Structure 1
Amino acid sequence: MGFLRDYVATRRDDQELGRGVWRRAHDRFQRGLDRYHQMLEGVTDTGLRVGAVPIANDLADLLPRVREVCMEAHRRAPSETQDIPASKGGYLSDVHRQLSRSGNAMAQTAEALTMARFAASSLNVADGESKSDPRVQGIERRAASVHECVEQAEALLRG
């Protein structure tokens, strides 16, 4: 059944996102999110885990929003190639730029979690103090840039 389910999902994605730039932007964001969750699975430090799990949940909540932006952009200007479709004032180029930045920021957030995993455990941070853990603060800064890029892409489509 897995093959049939994958086939149906791929067909749906092709229809809703196309095969061009909008699909690529969505898939890149999703890969970054998947990577963050993969890194989170390996976290054994309780303090880091307590701080990183809510960030994971917030980032996962962005995926449907990114998908909606990509679907709307594809509805307005279908893309089956690697070229960004032309638009009045170039606003779709700006939307794509923000989507690309959000995918890049998502990858950097996963990287920040990876680096935090391997940071020296000599920080003496108690389990309940995850907000003061500098490792979590670094991840939060990266996650904030992901949120900002997604919000800007949404605003560009609205405006």
Structure 2
Amino acid sequence: MGFLSAARQGRKDDAELGVGVWRRAHDRFGRGLDRFHQMLEGIEDPEVYDAMVPLANGLADLLPAVRAVAVAAQAVAPSTGTDIPASEGAWLNEVHRELSRSGNALATAAEAVAMVRLGMGEITAVERRVLAVHEHVEHAAALLADRGA
């Protein structure tokens, strides 16, 4: 990505995601996704690599959903700081919690890939962590959809 396109994307992100908690949750997910793919690139065993590629693709497919949740949450309750905007019944706290958990689960999935890469972990551990990422993203989207956002 060139400088001008990065600047344009940054302005678009500022407009859609704001600069608060929703933007940070989205960006953390993106960084976790990058880390997962970096760990994947170091796997030398072709069979293991081939088993991991669909997991990585599935995670990459979640990024638009994470962005959609963050954009919708920003539209409903703009955030410019570190505090989650107030909501009746604290439902926005739950949306943010699920987005945060998805980023954390993605980071642990990347760690699991690193362990497989070092020959000290199992693919099933990566699969479990990837499943958790999917569940957290789906739950965040469902929470937002339940509120009509």
Question: Pairwise mapping of residues 95-114 of structure 1 onto structure 2 (< 5 A)?
Answer: 95-114=95-114
Which stretches of structure 1, 4 residues or longer, exceed 6 Å deviation after superposition?
none
Residues 1:66 and 2:66 aligned together: yes
SS of 1:84's partner is: coil
Give the equivalent residue in structure 1 for 2:139. Answer: 152
Q: TM-score, normalised by structure 2?
A: 0.95
Judge conservation of contact 1:48–1:135 (CA < 8 Å) in 2: no
Q: Which has the larger radius of gyration?
A: 1
Question: Pairwise mapping of residues 1-159 of structure 1 onto structure 2 (< 5 A)?
Answer: 2-119=2-119, 135-159=122-146
Overall identity of the aligned pairs, in %? 58
**In 1: Cα distance, 2:92 partner to 2:145 partner:** 11
CA drift of 1:50 comes to 1.2
The number of residues matched between the two structures is 146
CA drift of 1:48 comes to 1.1
SS of 2:122's partner is: helix
CA drift of 1:135 comes to 1.6
Unaligned runs of 5+ in 2: none
Query: Which AA in structure 1 matches 2:78?
Result: P
**In 2: Cα distance, 1:18 partner to 1:44 partner:** 40
**In 2: Cα distance, 1:90 partner to 1:51 partner:** 40
Q: TM-score, normalised by structure 1?
A: 0.89
**In 2: Cα distance, 1:144 partner to 1:102 partner:** 10
